[in-house]
């Protein structure tokens, strides 16, 4: 567990720690994994200094969560598609991430 935590905080990532934890909360919630949703939710709360209500909203329904920008919404839309309907993914999905401002390295990390 310590090794995983150290990896999540590694300076080698292209995505911000906030984006990595946001992804982890949403993907864990989509997979109905209470343990990882809670664990990453707490990490996200600490990372952002935000309140737990914002994290809970992300986990319950990220589509209605307040404070997400265009870039974050594009990231979560792609992550949701990969998680729930990966067979429908196509190059256009990657183009949408690029249009939102993600580099190919960041797209790899999102995936």
- pLDDT tens digit sequence for 90-100: 999 999 999 99
Which H or E run includes 67? none
Say if residues 74 and 100 touch (Cβ distance below 8 Å): yes
Q: Which residues of 42-54 are buried (b: 16+ CB within 10 A; e: fewer)?
A: ebbbebeeeeeeb
Q: Please count the other Cβ atoms lying within 10 Å of the Cβ belonging to residue 34.
A: 11
pLDDT digits (tens, 9 = 90+) for 39-59: 999 999 998 887 888 899 999
> What is the pTM (predicted TM-score) of this model?
0.86
């Amino acid at each position: 567990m310590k090794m995983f935590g150290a990896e999540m905080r590694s300076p080698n990532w292209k995505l911000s720690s906030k984006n990595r934890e946001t992804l982890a909360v949403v993907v864990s919630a989509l997979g109905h994994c209470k343990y990882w949703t809670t664990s990453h939710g707490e990490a996200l709360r600490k990372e952002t200094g935000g309140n737990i209500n914002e994290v809970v909203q992300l986990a319950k329904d990220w589509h209605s969560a307040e404070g997400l920008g265009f870039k974050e919404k594009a990231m979560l839309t792609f992550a949701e598609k990969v998680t729930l309907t990966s067979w429908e993914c196509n190059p256009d999905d990657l183009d949408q991430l690029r249009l939102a401002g993600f580099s190919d390295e960041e797209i790899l990390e999102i995936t």
